[in-house]
Structure 1
Amino acid sequence: MTSKELLELAAKAADEKRGYDIIGLDVRELTSVADYYLICDASNERQVQAIAREIKDQAEKAGIEVKKLEGFDKARWILVDIGDVVCHVFHKEERNYYNLERLWGDAPVLALSSNDEA
């Protein structure tokens, strides 16, 4: 599975659990940590956990090792590291505060197929 396909898998998982404002950032030219960042948010802690859990479950189902899952208990900002894609699942308030889109403003924003279905 390519890193772009992995990004699409994560985006679809987030969309299935009703993640809001799902975007993909191409960070290949900006960092060696990952190829892509997925960023989305939810309005409450349970939904944030459900999205992160679905991303983890779908990655594992596809045979992808989940390298790290951080922040699950507090569910304000959960990071799901699935290798070439790092997923940031935010509570809406946290997303507005940390504003990763601005921090990684030089990264191209990708069109994701999960957003086309809306």
Structure 2
Amino acid sequence: MEQAKEMAKLAVTALEEKKAEDVKVIDIRDVSTIADYFIIANGSNQNQLQAMRDAVDEELYKAGYTAKQIEGNSYSTWILMDYGDIIVHVFSKEDRLFYDLERIWKDGKEISVADL
């Protein structure tokens, strides 16, 4: 779990450095086996979404973590980055509202970014 927390902290820091909006961390350990944490954030345009994706990937790579899979390209409005212990979701504002992952995963526990 400490590894997952470290990964989440790195991802959140990278997102915040790229001015990600409304960054949320959801602890899903008690409700799913697919990961320990979901990190959800949105950006205001395609360039920012891509910059957020690149920043998260670079920070985690520098710390020795590689993505198992990344879904989405430079035209995507939802980018999913699977690092095993954490899954990062980068959305456009509209898609985040439409898919509403926070509601779908409401059984998870939202964690304050400061508590990571």
User: Per the shorter chain, which TM-score range?
Assistant: over 0.9
Offset of 1:66 from its aligned partner?
1.1
Question: Contact 2:46/2:74 (CA < 8 Å) preserved in 1?
Answer: no
| SS of 1:37 mapped into structure 2 | strand
Q: TM-score, normalised by structure 1?
A: 0.92
CA distance in 2, matches of 1:45, 1:55: 16
Alignment-derived partner of residue 62 in structure 1 = 63
Q: TM-score, normalised by structure 2?
A: 0.94
Alignment-derived partner of residue 40 in structure 1 = 41
Offset of 1:74 from its aligned partner?
2.0
CA distance in 1, matches of 2:90, 2:13: 13
| SS of 2:97 mapped into structure 1 | helix
| SS of 1:28 mapped into structure 2 | coil
Moved over 6 A (4+): none
| SS of 1:5 mapped into structure 2 | helix
CA distance in 2, matches of 1:35, 1:74: 28
RMSD: 1.3
Alignment-derived partner of residue 15 in structure 2 = 14
Question: Among the aligned pairs, what percent are the same residue?
Answer: 38
